[in-house]
Structure 1
Amino acid sequence: MNPGDPLSQLKDIHLPETGGFWPPAPGWWFLAALAMALVAVLVWLALRRRRRQRWLTLAKQELARLEQSATPAPHWFVQLNVLLKQAARERYPNAHPEALSGKDWTEFLLAHAPNDRIAQRPVVEALVASAWRPAVNLTPAQALAFAHLWLGGQKC
């Protein structure tokens, strides 16, 4: 080696050390925060939906209880009408269905019933009228089938 040669004093190229995986880059922190926020929003939405649908679960449980104690007595039909009014009040709060009775209540039930409304009209009219008539011309099975259909259970 020549001491006067400046090129002979150069050292070989050294690559820098890798950074490792910790601490992550700012982009990974942002992505993790975004993922946690997304999970929190999804959990909140699921809990909110469950809370809002709780009335439907309770209504279906009450309908199952009424199904066990089904009798062609007017008081049983009154209980079924009360259940449908409570469900209607929760599902359609701005329509104020709790204030409806008679023909208005019948029309409300038919207007918000799924499927064939014309075929359901005699059943609904008999269900509504059975609350104040001593002789009921409707079987509990027909009333329960309509109630299941109206609540969304599709059990006919």
Structure 2
Amino acid sequence: MMPDDPLSQLRDIHLPHTGGFWPPALGWWALAFALLIALAALAWLVRRHRRRNRWLKLARAELAELERTAAKESRWFTQLNTLLKRVARERYPEQHPEALSGEQWAAYLLRHLPEGQISHQPIVEALVYSPWHPVPLAEPHQALAFARTWLEAQKC
């Protein structure tokens, strides 16, 4: 090699350093923003759903308590009717179901059942009229089964 040879003074080709992972490219920022918006929307929907169905959870807990204290007494049937009226008022406030009684209340309960559930009519009538009779007309286990069915039909 000759010392005055200019080619001998050249070094090997070095590639430039690649950009690191930070700052990310614009597309990654857009993806992160879209994911953040999607997570916020999902959290809002879950919270809204839970808030809208909180009454159902409380009603189920109260129904379980009534199931533990089930007795063929007028007072017990009054408590069950009160629970159903509170649920109806929460679910359908514009219809004012708390003002209904007797035959109108029984018809209201039947009207808010899924199709093909008309077989519950004798139980509903007995449930509605049992608080006014010295010996209730319905059996507590039948009334509880109807109340469970009716509650599940009220989901939002």
Alignment TM-score > 0.5, same fold: yes
Contact 2:70–2:76 (8 Å) recurs in 1: yes
- For residue 6 of structure 1, what is the aligned residue in structure 2? none
Instruction: Give the C-alpha shift of residue 14 in structure 1.
Output: 7.0
Aligned-partner SS, 1:152:
helix
Instruction: Give the C-alpha shift of residue 151 in structure 1.
Output: 0.6
Whether 1:48 aligns to 2:48 is yes
1:5-24 to 2 correspondences below 5 Å: 16-24=16-24
- For residue 38 of structure 1, what is the aligned residue in structure 2? 38
- How far, CA to CA, are the matches of 2:91 and 2:105 in structure 1? 15
**What is the number of equivalent residue pairs in this alignment?**
143
1:1-156 to 2 correspondences below 5 Å: 16-152=16-152
Identity of aligned residues (%): 58
Instruction: Give the C-alpha shift of residue 19 in structure 1.
Output: 2.0
- For residue 3 of structure 2, what is the aligned residue in structure 1? none
- How far, CA to CA, are the matches of 1:102 and 1:144 in structure 2? 19
Aligned-partner SS, 2:131:
coil
Structure having greater relative contact order (Cα 8 Å, sep ≥ 6): 2
Contact 1:114–1:149 (8 Å) recurs in 2: no
Instruction: In structure 1, give the amino acid aligned to 2:140.
Output: P
Instruction: In structure 2, give the amino acid aligned to 1:133.
Output: H
- How far, CA to CA, are the matches of 1:85 and 1:23 in structure 2? 59
Q: Which runs of 5+ in 2 are unaligned?
A: 1-11
Instruction: Give the C-alpha shift of residue 17 in structure 1.
Output: 3.8
Instruction: Give the C-alpha shift of residue 112 in structure 1.
Output: 0.5
- How far, CA to CA, are the matches of 2:51 and 2:134 in structure 1? 39
**TM-score using structure 2 length:** 0.84
- How far, CA to CA, are the matches of 2:33 and 2:71 in structure 1? 58
Instruction: In structure 1, give the amino acid aligned to 2:76.
Output: W
Q: Which runs of 5+ in 1 are unaligned?
A: 1-11
- How far, CA to CA, are the matches of 2:117 and 2:101 in structure 1? 19
Tell me which stretches of 4 or more aligned residues in structure 1 moved more than 4 Å.
12-16
- How far, CA to CA, are the matches of 1:144 and 1:103 in structure 2? 20
**TM-score using structure 1 length:** 0.84
Deviates more, 1:130-139 or 1:49-58: 130-139
Instruction: In structure 1, give the amino acid aligned to 2:102.
Output: G
- How far, CA to CA, are the matches of 1:142 and 1:53 in structure 2? 25
Aligned-partner SS, 1:48:
helix
Cα-Cα RMSD: 1.9
- How far, CA to CA, are the matches of 1:111 and 1:40 in structure 2? 38
- How far, CA to CA, are the matches of 2:110 and 2:80 in structure 1? 16
